[in-house]
Structure 1
Amino acid sequence: MKAERGFALILVVWSLVLLAGMAAGFSMAVRHEARVAFDDLAELKAEAAKLAAVNQTLFALNDTDLDTRWRADGRIHELAWDDMALRVRVRPESSKVDINRAPPELLAGLFAAMLPDAPTDALVDALADWRDQDDRARTEGAEARDYAAAGYRYGPSNAPFQSVFELAQVIGFDNATVTALAPYLTVFSRHPRVNAIGADLLTLRAIPGISESDVSQFIAQRDQAIAEGKNVELSPLRNGMRYLESNMNDRVIAMDIEIQLPNVPPISEQLVLQRGRNRLYEILARDTRQSTSGSAL
Structure 2
Amino acid sequence: MSATNRRRNRGIALLVVLWACTLLAILLGGFATLARTESIQTRYLSNRVQLRYLAEAGAMRALAECVSRSGGRWVGDGRRYRLRLQDHDIDIRIQDELGKVDINAADPRVLQRLFVAAGADDATATQLAANIQETRDTNAKLFHEEGAKRYAEAGLAGGPRYREFDMPEQLQTVLGMTPALYRKLAPAITVWSRRPEPTLALAPPLVLASQPDMDMPKAERYAALRAMTSTSTPPPPLPNGQSAGAWRGGLVRTIVASATDGQGTAASVIVTFRLTALKGGLGYSVLRWQEDGAG
State the TM-score, normalized to the length of structure 2. 0.84
Structure 1 Cα separation of the partners of residues 31 and 88 of structure 2 = 33
Residue of structure 1 equivalent to 2:179:
175
Contact 2:78-2:95 at 8 Å conserved across structures: yes
2:42 is aligned with what amino acid? A
Per the alignment, residue 33 of structure 1 pairs with: 38
* Structure 2 counterparts to residues 145-160 of structure 1, below 5 A: 145-160=149-164
Contact 1:164–1:182 (Cα < 8 Å) also in 2? yes
Deviation at 1:216, TM superposition (A): 6.8
Matching residue's letter, 1:257? A
2:51 is the counterpart of 1:50: no
Give 2:14's aligned residue: 9
Q: Which runs of 5+ in 2 are unaligned?
A: 1-5
Q: Deviations over 1:80-103 (max 9, x none)?
A: 111210111113111111111111
Alignment match, 1:201: 205
User: How many Å apart are 1:210 and its aligned residue?
Assistant: 4.3
Counterpart-to-counterpart distance in 2, 1:217 and 1:262: 27
Residue 269 of structure 1: CA displacement? 3.0
Q: Percent identity?
A: 25
Amino acid at match of 2:185: L
Q: Cα distance, 1:213 vs. partner?
A: 8.6
Task: Specify whether residues 167 and 238 from structure 1 end up closer, same or farther in structure 2 by C-alpha distance, changes over 3 A only.
Answer: same
Partner SS state of residue 194, structure 1: coil
> Structure 1 runs of 4+ off > 4 angstroms?
209-221, 233-239
Residue 150 to residue 290, structure 1, CA distance change in 2 (3 Å): closer
Distance in 1, Cα, partners of 2:93 & 2:105: 24
Taking a change above 3 Å as real, the CA distance of residues 31 and 212 of structure 1, as seen in their structure-2 partners, is closer
Q: Kindly provide the amino acid, as one letter, of the partner of residue 232 in structure 2.
A: G
Three-state SS of the structure 2 residue aligned to 1:197 is helix
**Distance in 2 of aligned mates of 1:263 and 1:100:** 41
Question: For residues 235 and 17 of structure 1, do their structure 2 counterparts lie closer, same or farther at Cα, with a shift above 3 Å needed?
Answer: closer
May I ask how many residue pairs the two structures share in their alignment? 283
**Mind listing any 5+ residue stretches in structure 1 that lack a counterpart?**
none
Paired position in structure 2 for 1:62 = 67
Q: Residue 258 of structure 2 corresponds to which residue in structure 1?
A: 258
Amino acid at match of 1:15: A
Q: 1:27 to 1:12 in 2, by over 3 A?
A: same
Letter in 1 for 2:50: K
Structure 1: how far apart are the matches of 2:179 and 2:216? 29
Q: Point out which structure has higher relative CO (alpha carbons under 8 A, 6+ apart).
A: 2
Deviation at 1:288, TM superposition (A): 3.3
- 1:98–1:192 Cα contact (<8 Å) kept: yes
Aligned equivalent of 1:20: 25
CA contact (8 A) 2:97 2:190 kept: yes
Matched residue, 2:115: 111
Following superposition, the deviation at residue 114 of structure 1 comes to: 1.4
Q: Distance in 2 between matches of 1:130 and 1:185?
A: 16
